[in-house]
Amino acid sequence: MIGNNVSPLSGSTRSFLAALATSVIFITGCSNMGSTAPDVNPFTSGATIKGNVHGGNQPVSGATVTLWYVSTTPPATLVATTTTASDGSGSFSFVKDPTSGQTLPNTGNEFSCPGGTNNPLVYVIASGGNTLNDGDATKNNTAAAFISIYGDCNELSSASSVYMSEATTVATMAAVAQFFDPATEGITTSGTGQQKIVIDQIPSTISLLASSTTGNAVPSTTVSAPATGANINPAVTVTATPEAGKVNLIANIISSCINNASATAPQCSSLFSAAVPAIPNTTYNNPHSGFAPAKDTLQALYYMFSNPTDTNLSNSGTGNMTTLFGLAGGAGAPYQPYLNTQPTDWTIAINYTSTSTCGTPTGGAGNFISSPIDVAIDSKDNVWFANSQSTLGNLSALAAGGVPIACVLPGTGAVGGVVMDSGSNTSLYSNVWVGTANGLVRYNPATFASQTFGTASTNPVALGADGAGNLYFSAVNGSIGSLYQLPGAAKGSTSSATQISATVGPNPIRIQPDYKTNATLNNIWVTSGSSFVSQVAAGTGTGSINGFVTTPYTTDTNSYGLGISRSGNVYVSDRTTNSVLQLALSNGTYSAPTGWPFAGASAGINGPTGIALDPRSNTWLANNTNGTSTGSVSVINNFPLATSPSTGYQKAPSYLNSGLGLVIDQAGNVWTVGNGNSFITEIVGAGVPTFQPFALGLANGAYLKTP
């Protein structure tokens, strides 16, 4: 990301998005409130919610079905239990009491919503049972396990139903993996306000991968802009296309175990031996000291998604990917068509495209998605991107489920990055900034108002925002790169650009403030496109400009991407040497620790550009150099060791191509854009959830923490 910070929404847009989140699907986690006094909630009503369970397209009878609330502290809350019927459809049901806050035994199929302000997300797990549809009640395959999400407890009605299949289980686990505990098989959140919003929106992602009505993978979904309440032409549509073939492939892999009489089947043994946890376990939102081998298909899926190359330090290179791929079953497999070539990894991506032009109300004649050059996330997990379409580049945004919610023509069109400022520091509300040929444009997503801040140079190259309300941009005059500050521009209506460095290199393409203390003036780091990276800090020493001193630190030959850890370590990608360098502060200066720079071959690093760090100190990189007919992203941990394979995580060119920037959202989804592409890509649940926007985290202390 040229600017990897973003903002929340308020006012009419916030109200609209809140309504959208609850109407599209499901809601938040909370702790067990079943012992509170009964509360007749005007927003809830009695209902019988239903479902059925099919393994390999066959009904499952005698399975134990448990109903759960997402909890803010582990373990998750069990609220009801039933079994699937021997009726040829694997059906089950639960009865929602019309009175909230009742204390009911969790051994029966009746439940009561918590009441008060608690409105938890409700999900269901089905385990065991006869998966062969042969009427033999003595058969019980304990390895068979499925998961689905119903939705917000208060809103559940007699129309609420789920079709539990291998495909819907794959889709659900891919999206919730970062909040799933394989030891307890529960979903938990931190309980913070932002994570509550994030967990509410996860079902919208699931619905783009698989249908809870048919139980099958979804080939594509066309999503329309809202008719009212958003700053966008309501005629705009977006097409979301998941890797449906990979969803079906993974569904067939677990189906090979599920469609057996018992957990001792050879297919189950092969699945559980090849689906292994990562060691070291840096890829988990809630790390454990150790993980037991998988005993059912939920645990196996969790290991596949949280360790998507199925290798670890003790068994790398043992052919786990090949073993798992071999379980898919060929032409007779239940889910068709499926990916029939072995992938590099188990991550699942969604591609978002649009042929719509924005037109009115505020968008220009340009497309909703056209050559996006940078991407960022706001506090509601909306995705903002700057389109670089010549003179027509709009600032666009997607909400949960791929809903287009904003399209704004900034000035004469976007040419630079997109970044979110720190807003008021204590609230969730920030402005979106984008670079144009006429200066920086500040857009308020709550009021829809835009304001242009003139700059000392045209065509800003990169943007950044700190936690003290200041904005930064770089510009180049000839071969001289300079850094400028807009003091207090996050809150003020006027701000003049002040030059604070004239030596940041010929291509200062990335800007990132570091974290010192909350809402303070940060050191500003800038990559150069040459063999150094610059730290620009407040000071009056030799060579200072307007109260700032620039200190260069040597890198390799072509510094590009930039990330700063919470502890202040600096990470720089080099496009020429295909490497990543860490600079750590020691004895008052920065130098490379042992093992750095990290040569990229083992992780598939190839022409690395944008960098995104997560709270577990993993470094994600967008690769600008493609492999044979495919693009990729790469990941390394802080040891440093490769997490991605030697090919990188590869996708077809319609998903990854000539990568430029990437960012990790608060659910762990990785978003990436590339050179000249007319699409934006989401890799579902692959990263550790990361507090957004960065500038707000620099202001309130949540920088590079989980939300």
Which residue has 């409700």 as its token pair? 122
Average pLDDT rounded to a whole number, residues 205-226 = 97
Contact 82, 97 (CB under 8 A): no
12 pLDDT band (50/70/90 cuts)?
very low
CA distances from 274 to 180, 254, 325, 642 (A): 20, 12, 10, 19
Residue 318 pLDDT: 65
Q: Is the pLDDT of residue 603 over 60?
A: yes
Q: Are 334 and 327 in contact (CB under 8 A)?
A: no
Q: What is the mean pLDDT of the chain?
A: 88
Q: pLDDT tens for residues 548-602?
A: 999 999 999 999 999 999 999 999 999 999 999 999 988 888 999 999 999 989 9
Is 324 in a helix, a strand, or coil?
helix
Contacts of 472 (CB under 8 A, 6+ apart): 463, 464, 465, 466, 483, 484, 485, 486, 511, 513, 524
Q: How far apart are CA 243 and CA 577, in angstroms?
A: 32
Looking at per-residue pLDDT, the higher value among 27 and 349 belongs to 349
Range from 42-56, 65-79, 213-227, 455-469 that averages highest in pLDDT: 213-227
SS3 93: strand
Q: Is the pLDDT of residue 458 over 80?
A: no
pLDDT digits (tens, 9 = 90+) for 644-689: 999 999 999 999 999 999 999 999 999 999 988 999 999 999 999 9
The pLDDT of residue 117: 84
284 confidence band (pLDDT: 50, 70, 90)? confident
DSSP letters, 124-172, are EEEE-SB-S-S--TT---TT-EEEEEEEEGGG--TT-EEEE-HHHHHHH
Cβ-Cβ contacts under 8 Å for 166 (sequence gap 6 or more): 55, 56, 146, 251, 252, 254, 255, 258, 297, 334, 335
Q: What is the pLDDT of residue 17?
A: 41
Confidence tier at 15 by pLDDT (50, 70, 90): very low
Q: What is the pLDDT of residues 17-62, one digit of tens each?
A: 443 333 333 323 332 222 233 334 445 568 999 999 999 989 999 9
CATH topology of domain 11-219: Immunoglobulin-like (2.60.40)
Lowest mean pLDDT among 126-135, 303-312, 365-374, 648-657: 303-312
Residue 215 has pLDDT above 70, yes or no: yes
| pLDDT value of residue 6 | 30
Q: What is the pLDDT of residues 414-424, one digit of tens each?
A: 777 899 999 86
Residue 583 has what pLDDT?
97
CATH fourth-level superfamily of 349-700: TolB, C-terminal domain (2.120.10.30)
Please tell me the predicted confidence (pLDDT) of residue 457. 57
Residue 640 pLDDT class (50, 70, 90 cuts): very high
Which residues of the chain does CATH 2.120.10.30 include? Answer: 349-700
Check residue 377 and give left, alpha or beta (phi > 0: left; psi -120 to 50: alpha). Answer: beta
Predicted pLDDT at 430: 86
Q: How far is CA 103 from the centre of its chain?
A: 36
Q: pLDDT (tens digit, 9 = 90+) per residue, 167-204? A: 999 999 999 999 999 999 999 987 667 888 899 899 99
User: In the predicted model, what is the mean pLDDT of residues 75-98?
Assistant: 96
3-state secondary structure 631-662: EEEEEECCCCCECCCCCCEEECCCCCCCEEEE
Q: Provide the pLDDT confidence category of residue 248 given band limits of 50, 70 and 90.
A: very high
Task: Render the burial of 223-253: b for 16+ CB within 10 Å, e for the rest.
Answer: bebbeebbbbbeebbbbbbbbbbbbbbbbbb
User: What is the reported pLDDT for 29?
Assistant: 30
Dump pLDDT digits (tens) for 135-152.
Answer: 999 999 999 999 999 999
pLDDT at 32: 29
- Banded model confidence at residue 305, pLDDT cuts 50, 70, 90: very high
- d(CA 217, CA 167) in angstroms, rounded, equals 6
pLDDT band at 315 (very low <50, low <70, confident <90, very high): low
Q: Whole-prediction pTM value? A: 0.92
- For the segment 147-168, the average pLDDT, to the nearest whole number, is 96
Domain with CATH 2.60.40.10 in the chain: 11-219
pLDDT for position 28: 30
- In the predicted model, what is the mean pLDDT of residues 291-296? 94
